[in-house]
């Protein structure tokens, strides 16, 4: 057999050298170069339009305040703010505290307790509150409930000096009391800034309110907030409603009672008195006796030891026991004081008969304002001064009539 020649192998093609891979930056540079080349070497058409300017573009430098400054990664922390870098509200609060804090004090009351083991009486602290200096004669104003039942009182001023104090006068129905410091030098007495004719009509809901006091024994504590509401009626410790009170959300806690509530000018607008809270701590609802009551009551307490109370000269029961028993809406006249405006107007009191008690006149209104209880009668008459005349609505035997009479001082 004829052998077949061995097949000839075709030579392999020479290997092409591998093109290096372009990086992202290289591709971007190559693409930009290609685009510029195409734009310059592309279809060049004749045009009658004038050639565009080939002047290089102008660089416009932005001011430093408008340019976004990018800090290097290793720039570190920002430099601290300058000492004066405070907002206006902060500067206002700081200035008020510096000026008014020397006028704020705190009151400590002591009571005697019996040590049964040593068989002797001891005087121990039983409570504390806040206060503010009224004048340079040493009069200090606080709440009545702060000093009620105290055996002795001490007042500590801003300079941390403590002085004995005595009660000059108190008005429980307004929860206001005035103390007199014993032995305090006049140089230490800084009266609190106030408007002697200030009223709640000068206030607006939403304006700034600042409280300084002694919460939980931490003296000269400042808290801020706003006037949340005006004209609130709150039951006071004196058995009647304190009306026209200021509501604030400035933090008021136990120990703040008796301290000042200030406006943004640092002037007194009220005296912190009570809070609404289920826990006993501040819940953002506090109440202050308004400046209008303080301005009226404090001078009377300093002068006479009691606040002037106006009336018509009748005996009544503030507890309203007879009214509740008989289901009467109004204030029953128990008797008319001899020679009083009530007697001159013919008001009749309660009589005892063979059939029992016979009710005479019942006061049902004052100047067309309804009277349901002694609370209403007291607060309606409290708006007037001695000598002013009021129209009194009275009911007797189901028949109502109106009598006009002048108010007199009844205490």
Classify strands 162-171 and 176-181 as parallel, antiparallel or unpaired: antiparallel
Query: Token pair of 8, please?
Result: 């000839």
Out of 139, 175, 249, 365, the active site residue is 175
CA distance 371 to 329: 8
Element (H, E) at 247: strand 241-248
Query: Token pair of 130, please?
Result: 């806040």
For the CA atoms of 377, 382, 384, 390, the dihedral, rounded to the nearest 10 degrees, stands at 10
Out of 103, 128, 228, 257, the active site residue is 257
Return phi, psi of residue 71, to 5°. -75, 140
User: Is 175 part of the annotated catalytic residue set?
Assistant: yes
Out of 145, 263, 361, 375, the active site residue is 145
User: Is 145 part of the annotated catalytic residue set?
Assistant: yes
CA distance 17 to 135: 104
Residue among 172, 130, 165 nearest 148 (CA): 172
Give the single-character DSSP code of 378: H
Return phi, psi of residue 255, to 5°. 110, -20
Classify strands 356-358 and 369-370 as parallel, antiparallel or unpaired: unpaired
133 touches 140 (CB < 8 A): yes
Residue 286 Cα distances to 181, 188, 275, 279, angstroms: 28, 30, 4, 14
Burial 118-130 (b: 16+ CB within 10 A, else e): eeeeeeeeebbbb
* Active site amino acids: 145, 175, 257
């Amino acid at each position: 057999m004829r052998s077949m020649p061995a097949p000839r192998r075709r030579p392999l093609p020479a290997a092409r050298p591998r093109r290096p891979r372009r990086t992202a930056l290289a591709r971007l540079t190559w693409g930009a170069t290609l685009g510029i080349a195409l734009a310059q070497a592309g279809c060049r058409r004749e045009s009658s339009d004038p050639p565009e300017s080939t002047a290089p573009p102008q660089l416009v430098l932005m001011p430093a305040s408008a340019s976004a400054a990018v800090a290097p990664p290793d720039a570190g922390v920002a430099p601290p703010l300058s000492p004066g870098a405070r907002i206006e509200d902060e500067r206002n609060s700081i200035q008020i505290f510096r000026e008014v804090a020397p006028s704020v004090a705190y009151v400590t009351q002591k009571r005697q307790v019996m040590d049964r083991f040593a068989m002797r009486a001891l005087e121990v602290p039983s409570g504390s509150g806040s206060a503010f200096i009224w004048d340079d004669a040493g009069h200090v104003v606080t709440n009545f409930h702060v000093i009620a039942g105290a055996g002795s009182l001490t007042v500590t001023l801003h300079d941390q000096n403590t002085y004995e104090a005595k009660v000059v006068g108190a008005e429980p129905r307004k929860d206001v009391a005035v103390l007199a410091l014993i032995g305090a030098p006049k140089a230490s007495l800084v009266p609190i800034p106030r408007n002697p004719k200030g009223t709640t009509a000068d206030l607006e809901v939403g304006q700034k309110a600042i409280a300084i006091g002694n919460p939980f024994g931490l003296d000269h504590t400042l808290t801020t907030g706003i006037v949340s509401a005006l004209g609130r009626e709150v039951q006071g410790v004196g058995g009647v409603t304190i009306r026209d009170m200021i509501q604030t959300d400035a933090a008021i806690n136990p120990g703040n009672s008796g301290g000042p509530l200030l406006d943004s000018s640092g002037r007194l607008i009220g005296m912190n008195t009570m809070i609404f809270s289920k826990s006993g701590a501040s819940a953002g609802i506090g109440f202050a006796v308004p400046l209008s009551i303080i301005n009226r009551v404090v001078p009377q307490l300093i002068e006479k030891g009691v606040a002037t109370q106006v009336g018509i000269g009748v005996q009544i029961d503030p507890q309203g026991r007879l009214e509740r028993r008989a289901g009467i809406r109004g204030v029953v006249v128990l008797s008319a004081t001899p020679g009083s405006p009530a007697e001159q107007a013919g008001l009749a009191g309660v009589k005892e008969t063979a059939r029992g008690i016979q009710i005479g006149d019942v006061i049902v209104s004052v100047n067309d304002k309804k009277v349901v209880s002694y609370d209403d009668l007291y607060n309606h008459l409290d708006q007037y001064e001695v000598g002013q005349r009021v129209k009194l609505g009275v009911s007797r035997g189901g028949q109502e009539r109106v009598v006009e009479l002048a108010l007199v001082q009844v205490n």
